[in-house]
């Protein structure tokens, strides 16, 4: 979302005048990953960063097998994990989501495929759509060594296949995840007519459903 909020009509006008990848109406066709994290009977967790967490959360909430999605901050310290501080672009945090999922229904590599295909643009460096700054960076925060290996391998696979017209800039990072303020949670569903949601995220959710019909719910 825009860090500097404009009043009423000015905000709507600024957002609808903007252009960018997030307004795309189709998912990027990507191959399935060659390696994956083995399925277990226990719920697993994934953490992804890729621009404003409102749209990221909205996409992953609609993936079959996903149990919960939490908007938050990753990459910095607990003490600076607040929206006002992260907005200064000096905390090291990225806006991120924590996804808990049933690996018997959806695998980690499948979540990565959604992440790279439609949840964000992995070729944008420190920005997504109208938002710029390191808190909007493309980054994966593996929760264990197996996730890290699968993420690195998939990035290499997509790079070798030249799946995108520009290099992938997604970083593999370490760091804790800290939930964002309550008003950021399920923002898409609770604010369907918010100008930012209408301009940038509704088409993203529609593109996910169209590009992954067997995976969407």
Residues paired with 40 in a beta bridge: none
The candidate with the shortest Cα–Cα distance to 138, out of 159, 124, 158, is: 124
33, 37, 52, 111: which one is catalytic?
A: 52
Cα→Cα distances 107→113, 114, 115, 187, Å: 10, 11, 12, 25
Q: Are 67 and 164 in contact (CB under 8 A)?
A: no
Identify the three-state secondary structure at position 50: strand
CB atoms inside a 10 Å sphere around CB 40: 10
32 is catalytic: no
- Active centre residues (catalytic): 52
């Amino acid at each position: 979302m825009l860090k500097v909020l404009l009043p009423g009509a000015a905000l709507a006008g600024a957002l609808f005048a903007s252009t960018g990848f997030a307004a795309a109406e189709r998912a990027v066709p990507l191959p399935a990953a060659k390696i994956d994290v083995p399925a277990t009977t226990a719920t697993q967790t994934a953490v992804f960063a890729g621009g404003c967490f409102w749209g990221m959360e909205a996409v992953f909430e609609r993936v079959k097998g996903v149990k919960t999605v939490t908007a938050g901050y990753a990459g910095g310290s607990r003490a600076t994990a607040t929206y006002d501080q992260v907005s200064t672009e000096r905390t090291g945090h990225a806006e991120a989501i924590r996804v808990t999922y049933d690996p018997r229904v959806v695998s980690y590599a499948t979540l990565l495929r959604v992440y790279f295909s439609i949840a964000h643009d992995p070729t944008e460096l420190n920005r997504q759509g109208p938002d710029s700054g390191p808190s909007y960076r493309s980054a994966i925060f593996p929760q264990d060594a197996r996730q890290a290996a699968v993420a690195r391998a998939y990035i290499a696979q997509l790079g070798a296949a030249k799946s995108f017209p520009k290099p992938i800039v997604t970083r593999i990072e370490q760091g804790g995840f800290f939930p964002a303020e309550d008003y950021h949670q399920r923002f898409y569903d609770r604010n369907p007519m918010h100008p930012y949601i209408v301009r940038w995220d509704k088409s993203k959710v529609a593109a996910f459903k169209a590009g992954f019909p067997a995976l969407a719910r």
